[in-house]
Amino acid sequence: MTRPDALESLVSLAKRRGFIFQSSEIYGGTGSVWDYGPFGVELKNNVKARWWNAMVRERDDVEGLDAAILMHPKVWEASGHVSGFSDPLIDCRACKARFRADKLGDAACPRKPSKQPGEHADCQLTEPRQFNLMFKTFMGPVEESASVVYLRPETAQGIFVNFLNVQQATRQKVPFGIAQIGKAFRNEITPGNFIFRTREFEQMEMQFFVEPGTDMEHFERWMQARLDWHLGLGLDRDRLEFHQHTEKELAHYARAAFDINFDFGGTLGFQEIEGVHNRSDFDLRQHQEYSSKKLEYVDQANNKRYLPYVIETSVGADRVTLAILVNALREEAVEGEQEGRTVLGFHPAIAPIKAGVFPLTKKDGQPEMAERLAAALRKRFPVFYDEAGAIGRRYRRQDEAGTPFGITIDGDSTANDNVTIRFRDDMGQIRVATSRVAEVLGRYLEADHARADSRLVE
- Which stretches of the chain bind ligand ATP, using CB under 6 A? 154, 186, 188, 197-198, 201, 203, 272-275, 314-316, 318-319
CA separation for the pair 201, 204 (Å, rounded): 10
The nearer residue to ligand ATP, 42 or 154, going by C-beta atoms, is 154
The nearer residue to ligand ATP, 55 or 374, going by C-beta atoms, is 55
CA separation for the pair 382, 355 (Å, rounded): 7
Sign of CA dihedral 410, 446, 353, 351: negative
CA separation for the pair 17, 119 (Å, rounded): 41
| Closest distance to ligand ATP from the beta carbon of 275 (Å) | 4
Instruction: Report, in angstroms and rounded to the nearest whole number, the Rg of the chain calculated over CA atoms.
Output: 25
| Closest distance to ligand ATP from the beta carbon of 404 (Å) | 26
The nearer residue to ligand ATP, 188 or 371, going by C-beta atoms, is 188
CA separation for the pair 448, 353 (Å, rounded): 14
Q: How many CA atoms lie within 13 A of 282 on its CB side?
A: 17
The nearer residue to ligand ATP, 317 or 419, going by C-beta atoms, is 317
- Contact between residue 415 and residue 53 where contact means Cβ atoms under 8 Å apart: no
The nearer residue to ligand ATP, 13 or 268, going by C-beta atoms, is 268
Backbone dihedral angles phi then psi of residue 369, each to the nearest 5 degrees: -65, -40
CA separation for the pair 218, 94 (Å, rounded): 50
| Closest distance to ligand ATP from the beta carbon of 158 (Å) | 14
Helix 7-16 / helix 317-328 crossing angle, nearest 10 deg: 100
CA separation for the pair 100, 119 (Å, rounded): 15
| Closest distance to ligand ATP from the beta carbon of 318 (Å) | 5
**Of 441, 313, 103, which Cα lies nearest the Cα of 432?**
441
| Closest distance to ligand ATP from the beta carbon of 15 (Å) | 19
The nearer residue to ligand ATP, 272 or 387, going by C-beta atoms, is 272
| Closest distance to ligand ATP from the beta carbon of 161 (Å) | 18
The nearer residue to ligand ATP, 167 or 203, going by C-beta atoms, is 203
The nearer residue to ligand ATP, 317 or 370, going by C-beta atoms, is 317
69 contact partners, CB below 8 Å, separation of at least 6: 151, 152, 182, 183, 185
The nearer residue to ligand ATP, 271 or 408, going by C-beta atoms, is 271
| Closest distance to ligand ATP from the beta carbon of 196 (Å) | 7
Query: In this structure, are strands 62-64 and 176-185 parallel, antiparallel, or unpaired?
Result: parallel
How does DSSP assign 259-275, residue by residue?
EEEEE--TTT-EEEEEE
| Closest distance to ligand ATP from the beta carbon of 1 (Å) | 24
| Closest distance to ligand ATP from the beta carbon of 263 (Å) | 15
The nearer residue to ligand ATP, 259 or 410, going by C-beta atoms, is 259
| Closest distance to ligand ATP from the beta carbon of 205 (Å) | 8
Helix 215-232 / helix 38-52 crossing angle, nearest 10 deg: 140
- Contact between residue 279 and residue 309 where contact means Cβ atoms under 8 Å apart: yes
Residue whose CB is nearest to ligand ATP in the complex, by number: 316
The nearer residue to ligand ATP, 197 or 449, going by C-beta atoms, is 197
CA separation for the pair 328, 312 (Å, rounded): 28
- Contact between residue 444 and residue 348 where contact means Cβ atoms under 8 Å apart: yes
| Closest distance to ligand ATP from the beta carbon of 272 (Å) | 5
- Contact between residue 326 and residue 265 where contact means Cβ atoms under 8 Å apart: yes
Sign of CA dihedral 339, 344, 346, 351: negative
